[in-house]
Structure 1
């Protein structure tokens, strides 16, 4: 029996990570592909510790992992209620993960076990999300270096998370990219990276959540209205108070309530006092429904923007990072807006520009064309499993 092993962040407590992982599995089920999510845990060895030592001097890794985790732990100590609230949110993520992800491999402990067990797969595929970020590229999991030479190796909509790869990393990237049989990426900048450092070429495909249209999402996540009154959904991960002030001004002028999800990654001072409703019992399904039933959406989130388009919302997207930030991930928003004719939805200082109507027939025509070409890519890549 031919089987596909997939490497995705199915249990990462992030709306985008879980929803794109779920969309990937939903698409595979629609294709009647026999698959399972590969579960891998590292064994802590002296060799592994030595391998990761250089990361302590990498600004991307320090910003993405060490500082963020340290800040979160400190803030939880000072904000006891936030710790309790985050446990409620965490449980909502766990519930979605446990209910929605059933096709799981045994846990492979240690790299040798991963290599050996991976031989049972006809093909392995790394999913979307920022799984090729320089901060984690040495793990040899999401780059599929563990897979046997005879195993078909596929990437679907995988993201580098950055617009450029520093010269010191390019040899590492070339090594694993050259081994892949089918490469697709989520951003235009990702294609440029692959085409420049590898002998292979990459195709830009839709994020997995766009493989399903609004009707198919309704089949996967039935509609449930969480608030009876009209509302704005404001979903900000960044720390810019001016964005929240602008949304508050807009809401007052329109006579609408604001629903928001505060303190997503860690304590965020800008979230204090912002919004009329700040629920914490929101898992990925509830997140989809908050967008689905909103009058307007304001966000600095990539997937907040994507679902806004799926549900034809009047939305505005904000930059979460400054363009010169070493950890900037603005490139995915850049690609999304450029590819579908949505550049005017970028916030430029006028919050009321959100009222300019979006030409959704034109936008969704582009999305549908891209969806079809992305499915054609999967047709070719998954041919080995028939």
Structure 2
């Protein structure tokens, strides 16, 4: 049987990254395609070995270097201060892939990946922000330049993570993009950008997490046991606007507030919010499935709100214009009013006014198109 190798972002202690990587692998398996994830460590993984060849296209600013360093030290400090939480979370993430995902040997560096002999019939670069010019690493692996020259090379839902790129980088991106046989990107802005860079018309496909149904995800999840309805707060860092909105919804509904967050997230000093920091991907799904309302700053937080049919709001920074991922998704399902900028006022009387039958219809069209794209692209 022919075999497919997938490269994407995973093993980064992030719910969205791990679940999107699993989803494409699992969907291809359900479609009858033998496949595995090429386990190339992302540069943020603590075991990744940085080298000259893995230097990023755009030099990382001192501010961003300082930010990355601070996050690493906060994470280490949190693990030291709360060792049981850190251990349990790490185990759950590790066991998720051990039990549910087929992985290749681990490639810890750029050189490891490029010196290996790869013998797949198809190569896929998967979803997430693999083409983001601001990533602090060489993006070449995510354009499949390590694959044999004549191999079938496919991009599925690969994302730039930004709406535009400085034109001085167009020549390099053109070279990389033209290495791909088939291109399907996750955002409409990505379709426009690739056309601008290469002249190629490419497919607009869904994030891999949408290739699996609500029933598929429910069959995997660890149910969350609870007695009272709750508002789920899924945010990456402290966000005053999101917290205040959660409190307003709590006052209206009487629901409690649960925040699911990463290990380095500090605990609240009061008891108004229950912080859960040790859940793995399957526990995360169970938490989503039972939520009554969701507030999120995450793209995948929006996706799982749609999959599990939860009233939600996605919150984006007022000062940034890199919200193309969320904007593209909300436009597809006609829920632009669910995308908030920090500071926006909302009418909570319309909190639950989402026509999920319409959402399923619009998503269904794009999901079917995306599956058809995969079938046509794969040998």
TM-score higher than 0.5 here?
yes
Pair 1:255-2:251 in alignment: no
TM-score, normalised to structure 2, is 0.88
Measure how far apart 1:35 and its partner are.
1.3
Measure how far apart 1:127 and its partner are.
0.5
Q: Does the CA contact (< 8 Å) of 1:316 and 1:354 recur in 2?
A: no
Cα deviations across residues 341-376 of structure 1 (Å, max 9, x unaligned)? 011112332262552410111111000001000001
Larger deviation: 306-315 or 130-139?
Answer: 130-139
Q: Does the CA contact (< 8 Å) of 2:222 and 2:282 recur in 1?
A: no
**Aligned mate of 1:361, from 357, 363, 377:** 357
Alignment partner, residue 58 of structure 1: 60
Go from structure 1 to structure 2 and tell me whether the alpha carbon gap of 1:92 and 1:169 turns closer, same or farther (over 3 Å shift).
same
Q: Does the CA contact (< 8 Å) of 1:115 and 1:148 recur in 2?
A: no
SS at match of 2:316: coil
Cα deviations across residues 18-53 of structure 1 (Å, max 9, x unaligned)? 1111111110111111112113469969xx427628
Go from structure 1 to structure 2 and tell me whether the alpha carbon gap of 1:374 and 1:75 turns closer, same or farther (over 3 Å shift).
closer
Q: Does the CA contact (< 8 Å) of 2:157 and 2:185 recur in 1?
A: yes
Cα deviations across residues 287-312 of structure 1 (Å, max 9, x unaligned)? 11111111111111111111111111
Pair 1:334-2:327 in alignment: yes
SS at match of 1:277: strand
Alignment partner, residue 277 of structure 1: 274
Pair 1:346-2:342 in alignment: no
Distance 1:62 1:118 in 2: 38
1:36-185 map, 5 Å = 36-40=36-40, 48-49=51-52, 52=55, 55=58, 57-59=59-61, 63=64, 66-74=66-74, 76-77=76-77, 81=81, 85-101=85-101, 103-108=102-107, 114-115=113-114, 117-136=116-135, 138-185=138-185
Q: Does the CA contact (< 8 Å) of 1:315 and 1:354 recur in 2?
A: no
Distance 2:133 2:148 in 1: 23
SS at match of 2:295: strand
Distance 1:249 1:109 in 2: 46
Distance 1:272 1:82 in 2: 16
Alignment partner, residue 195 of structure 1: 195
Alignment partner, residue 235 of structure 1: 234
Give the gaps of 5 or more residues in structure 2.
Answer: none
SS at match of 2:2: coil
Measure how far apart 1:100 and its partner are.
1.7
Measure how far apart 1:283 and its partner are.
0.8
Alignment partner, residue 381 of structure 1: 377
Go from structure 1 to structure 2 and tell me whether the alpha carbon gap of 1:258 and 1:116 turns closer, same or farther (over 3 Å shift).
same
Distance 2:235 2:368 in 1: 31
Cα deviations across residues 126-157 of structure 1 (Å, max 9, x unaligned)? 11011111134624211211112210000100
Measure how far apart 1:87 and its partner are.
3.9
Distance 1:50 1:9 in 2: 19
Distance 2:30 2:78 in 1: 47
Q: Does the CA contact (< 8 Å) of 2:260 and 2:275 recur in 1?
A: yes
The structure that is helix-richer by fraction is 1
Measure how far apart 1:88 and its partner are.
3.3
SS at match of 2:274: coil
Cα RMSD over matched residues?
2.7
